[in-house]
Amino acid sequence: MTELTELTALQLVDGYRKGEFSPVDVARAALLRAEEIQPSVNAFVRLDGDGAIEQARESAERWRRGEPAGLVDGVPVTVKDILLMRGAPTLKGSNTVRADGSWDEDAPSVARLREHGAVFLGKTTTPEFGWKGVTDSPQSGVTRNPYDVSRTSGGSSGGSAAAVAMGAGPLSLGTDGGGSVRIPASFCGIFALKPTYGRVPLYPASAFGTLAHVGPMTRDAADAALMLDVISGADARDWSGLAPPDGSFTDTLDGGVRGLRIAYSPSLGGQVPVRPGVAAAVRRGVEGLASLGAYVEESDPDFTEPVEAFHTLWFSGAARVTQNLGPHQRELLDPGLREICGIGARYSALDYLAAVDVRMDLGRRMGRFHETYDLLVTPTLPITAFEAGVEVPKGSGHRRWTGWTPFTYPFNMTQQPAATVPVGMDGDGLPVGLQIVAARHRDDLVLRAAQALYEAGVAQVAPPPKRSAGGR
């Protein structure tokens, strides 16, 4: 019998509808799993068992009456500790954020999930202010990979990825400013979508500006579509949010890929050295798309790596986050964050606007690219998970996390929808992700292609080993 913690959100809702189990059963199972994995992977900064059980009881009563509140009534959800959640402090991985206060407001995405009856298990770990592609912070320590706890979960939504991979709730809310849902999802063997910018409202606005997206982290594409149907509603607090979508993302999942024009770029035109195990798994995924009727050809997007412009935007945002901190508080910061804040504070307005010019040109180039191709497919990352507790792999020669994430952050600059799909393992038994990118506003195409890979059995990895409380 499949354990309750192994079911997707859609399977849970179906089980509630049929009376096979209750939201209380599921909440208890998810909380137990969260407590079991916490000593080994450190996915949570806060669990709220009493609150989750109370929400689950209310959900069970609604299902008993045949009056569910919405699409995810009774489904356990976790929230990255960057996003506001009513009744819980949002510390953002930082010892400079005070825990006291009212904490009486939900972020838009959290509010929509609450309206639909979700059961909130707790808050997941993040690096300080979500600044890097791995998850460790002065406030919560190191988050580890479910497949090998000596390695990183990735970041900055690493706690969310580890929680979903290990069965502590099938849905999690993450944020992505340079790959932060896709990086950890790829390292942890789950699905994640960075929607088109503005598709999911964000409040408070990110100091990293319009690089920052909110997205679903889930077991598969179908659950992500369900979650996106919930969280993509408009919110007056987000001045840059998009109008609500015309229809349901779930309803468009089954369109398949037959006839779609797909560009496969294995290394961005030779700019990126990709590990052989990663390249082989991604190529098999691409071959799967071709076998399902897509027109696939190798073709590279027309840009050189825009890392300097991204750094200008990103480091400026970090400086903005911390600009009001005094000298004592700055000493509490992650040393790497403190370093980039110093760099960001020295940029001029002209430096920033020059980076915006690079961003606009990149967006124009990708807009033209998608006049020819419906989708772009790349590896999500050129590597698999490396040692935990460091920003870059030892011996890599990289200075910052952007050195090993060249496939992810460009599409934050262009605001395009991009997802990672697990397509196999490398020789060390670590998950490999395939990235699917579409033109702005075509989130439906990304989800359709991912769903086709799941239905064909191409998008799958072995589950991580079970871990009991107290041991690694």
On the 0-12 / 13-18 / 19+ scale of CB atoms within 10 A, 237 is: middle
State the Cα–Cα distance between residues 425 and 432, nearest whole angstrom.
5
Nearest by Cα to 133 from 358, 398, 376 = 398
Nearest by Cα to 454 from 289, 251, 211, 277 = 289
Annotated active-site residue in 137, 180, 232, 316: 180
Nearest by Cα to 87 from 51, 140, 139 = 51
User: What are residue 438's phi and psi, to 5 degrees?
Assistant: -130, 170
Annotated active-site residue in 22, 94, 156, 172: 156
Beta strands in 154-253 (DSSP E): 171-176, 191-194, 213-218
Reply yes or no on whether 153 is catalytic: no
320 three-class SS: helix
State the Cα–Cα distance between residues 410 and 363, nearest whole angstrom.
9
Beta strands in 146-232 (DSSP E): 148-152, 171-176, 191-194, 213-218
State the Cα–Cα distance between residues 468 and 282, nearest whole angstrom.
32
Reply yes or no on whether 156 is catalytic: yes
Only one residue has tokens 């994640």, namely 192
Say how far residue 124 (Cα) sits from the centre of its chain: 12
CA distances from 83 to 42, 91, 215, 403 (A): 19, 9, 11, 27
Reply yes or no on whether 80 is catalytic: yes
- Contact, 85 vs 111, CB < 8 A? no
Catalytic machinery residues? 80, 156, 180
